[in-house]
Amino acid sequence: MANKNANRVPMADTLVWARVMRPRVPIIYIDMNHFIGMARANTGDVKTPRGYRELFDAARKATQQGRALVPLSTQHLFEISAINDPRQRKDIANVMEELSGFQYLLGRSDWNSSHGSSGTSRPPSTRGQVVENPNEMSSQPRFES
């Protein structure tokens, strides 16, 4: 008879949770196809589907006024790296930067791969500081082209 615990992962004696705080504003996830549409509208592409100019203007206003956060994810990085045209990548990155400030939404797999079995209770962050409230961030990392 097979051991029914053979496929179970041992549980730690104590669980450690990241000390993070939910922002006081909505987090809006924008899929890559919509970043592309907004980038096309931002560059004046006449073939841009209707509504992307208005979407970009509304998202820009909401983020500038601190009424929303538009973070990026690992998936955005994978998808933008698959775009071969450097001009298109730059146009999309410009929109991403303006709306997100390159703030990043750390996913579970990112957290697990960066920590392994280290048992640390603090999430990774830029400049060695944990950002417990994104509204208190003094500056954002910039990517140079």
Q: pLDDT tens digits, residue range 104-136?
A: 887 666 555 555 545 554 544 444 434 444 444
Question: Residue 86: which domain range?
Answer: 32-117
Count: domains in the chain? 1
Report the C-alpha gap between 139 and 50 in whole angstroms. 34
Report the C-alpha gap between 110 and 80 in whole angstroms. 18
Report the C-alpha gap between 57 and 54 in whole angstroms. 5
Torsion angle defined by CA atoms of residues 29, 55, 62 and 85, in that order, rounded to the nearest 10 degrees: 60
Report the C-alpha gap between 101 and 83 in whole angstroms. 21
- pTM of the predicted protein model: 0.63
Q: Residue 91 falls within a domain, yes or no?
A: yes
Q: Residue 42 falls within a domain, yes or no?
A: yes
Q: Residue 13 falls within a domain, yes or no?
A: no
Q: Residue 71 falls within a domain, yes or no?
A: yes
pLDDT of 69-107, one tens digit each?
999 998 999 999 999 999 999 999 999 999 999 998 876
Q: Residue 24 falls within a domain, yes or no?
A: no
Q: Residue 48 falls within a domain, yes or no?
A: yes
With CA atoms as reference, report the closest residue to 40 among 103, 94, 84.
94
